[in-house]
Amino acid sequence: MSNEIPVKIYLSEKEMPKFWYNFRADMKEKHPPFIHPGTLEPCVAEDLYPVFCKELVSQELNQTDQKIPIPDGIFDFYKMFRPSPLIRAYSLEKMLDTPAEIYYKFEGNNTSGSHKLNSAAAQAYYAKQEGLTSLTTETGAGQWGTALSMACAYYGIDLTIYMVKVSSEQKPYRKIVMETYGANVIPSPSDKTIVGRKILADNPTTGGSLGCAISEAIEQAITTENCRYVLGSVLDHVLLHQSVVGLECKIAMDKYKIKPDIIIGCAGGGSNLGGIIAPFMGERLNGKNNIRFIAVEPASCPSLTRGKYCYDFGDTAKTTPLIKMYTLGNRFIPSANHAGGLRYHGMSPIISKLYHDKFIEARSYIQNDVFDAAKIFIKTEGILPAPESTHAVKAAIDEALECKATNTKKVILFGLTGTGYFDLLAYSQHNSGEMTDHVPTDDELNAGFSSIIPFDIKY
């Protein structure tokens, strides 16, 4: 084991980034704007104010400033759980007998168990600054809901979380953590909202869906005084907050003169990937590196690898603006898959644009294969990854084995977004050989695509 580069690189507080990196400023072609479904014109800030905090709207629409300062109030919160370690996977490399150097940025060492806290902190802070007294959101797997509960407890803001009913039943511990931080967790669909009551009337036994939970959370936000809705992925400002992950990687790697050849991230809504690649993609877009960026998604929900690049709604209830993105159609429902955070029909408009312009590659894996990779990782590196993160683990191992096959030394960096402590049923199914997966057929994809309305939009 080399002693030159330590197993874990922790930045000091003084080395931590004081700004977020907005690599949209480096994009020669920006991604097309949000479109108001009523007017079919680009959304302006005022269109978004009823739903989102003003500062977040401003960040959402800022495609020009490369560096956005992190306010002291957020930086103080970051210092409670950041910096996260950049880890050299010496044990994994040895086991794979690969000439590749493998690094991973581990975001799971906080109570929410994932990178989601980076944006939750920012969003709760700005809400408090704006004088709001409460927030609403939705959660599926629960990482985002837990992160936002922690941030709202810290800043002193009330929080209501609509949690997909089937998830709240399957993951009671997630619900307890959020309640322990003071959040009001409501299984969705509920009788608290008009949309919830309507869905329940139509289908009293439904287990709910993320689309429905989003609709309930938005309804409560716009009908409650001093309340706004917040979202944990997809949007540009969420990717912006997650850039702290990539910046810490960059600072640590520069310090040790490490130059990544490949950067890998799992991609559901896209915030993890957008975060870890941020400063590296900024360089790439300016012709300063030739890094391969790889998005990894589940074969059960292949928005990049099999989706269409077009305008679609962000939710099933069609309440969001229209977003130009890779989409499987707003009505596409992926098969049950434990990587709940990757079961989104669409994709961040930034990631979509970069993929469309071939700055990013994408691949998909079936669930059993990513858990096989996770088992190797668990036993060599000790950490038990979240189901979402296992996708990146699998891709990193595959790339390292390719290096072995071709006797090529490459430097691989991947994002280990979180821990799987609340997702152990998935591991249990894999342990017992009972894990299944479903790759959608072309007919199933076509059924999803048919829910995309072909608006006549000029972007």
Binding site for its own copies (CB under 8 A): 1, 3, 6-8, 10, 12-13, 76, 79-81, 91, 109-111, 113, 150, 153-154, 172-173, 176-177, 179-182, 375, 378-384, 419, 421-422, 424-425, 427-428, 431
The distance of closest approach from Cβ of residue 90 to its own copies in the complex, given in angstroms and rounded to an integer, is: 8
Shortest distance (Å) from residue 422 CB to its own copies: 7
| Nearest to 371, CA basis, from 306, 296, 428, 303 | 428
Q: Residues of 340-351 as b/e, b for ≥16 C-beta within 10 angstroms?
A: bbbbbbbbbbbb
Maximum CA pair distance of the chain?
A: 64
d(CA 131, CA 133): 6
Pairwise CA distance, residues 176 & 161, whole Å: 12
Q: By C-beta, is 214 or 396 nearer to its own copies?
A: 396
Taking only Cα atoms into account, the Rg of the chain, rounded to an integer number of angstroms, comes to 21
CA–CA gap between residue 27 and residue 360 (Å, rounded): 13
- In sequence order, the β-bridge partners of residue 324 are 311
Q: How far is the CB of 1 from its own copies (least distance, A)?
A: 6
- Pick the closer one to its own copies by CB: 184 or 224: 184
Minimum CB distance to its own copies, residue 107 (Å): 12
Our CB check for its own copies shows the closer of 184 and 319 to be 184
Q: Are strands 292-298 and 67-69 parallel, antiparallel or unpaired?
A: unpaired
Q: Cβ 153 to its own copies, closest distance in Å?
A: 4
3-class secondary structure, 82:
coil
Quote the least distance from Cβ 169 to its own copies, whole Å.
15
Report the residue number, 421 or 455, with the smaller CB distance to its own copies: 421
Q: Which is nearer to its own copies, 5 or 413 (CB)?
A: 5
d(CA 162, CA 133): 18
Amino acid at 54: K
Least Å distance, CB 236 to its own copies, is: 27
Q: Give φ, ψ of 162 to 5 degrees.
A: -90, 115
Angle between helices 117-129 and 54-61 (to 10 degrees): 130
- Minimum CB distance to its own copies, residue 216 (Å): 23
- Comparison of 110 and 271: residue with beta carbon closer to its own copies: 110
Closest CA to 232 of 124, 311, 322: 124
Q: Cα–Cα distance between 179 and 369 in angstroms, integer?
A: 34
**Six-digit token string for 409:** 């030394």
Task: Using DSSP, state whether 104 is helix, strand or coil.
Answer: strand
Least distance in Å: CB of 12 to its own copies?
7
Cβ closer to its own copies: 303 or 417? 417
Within 10 angstroms of residue 259's Cβ, the number of other Cβ atoms is 11
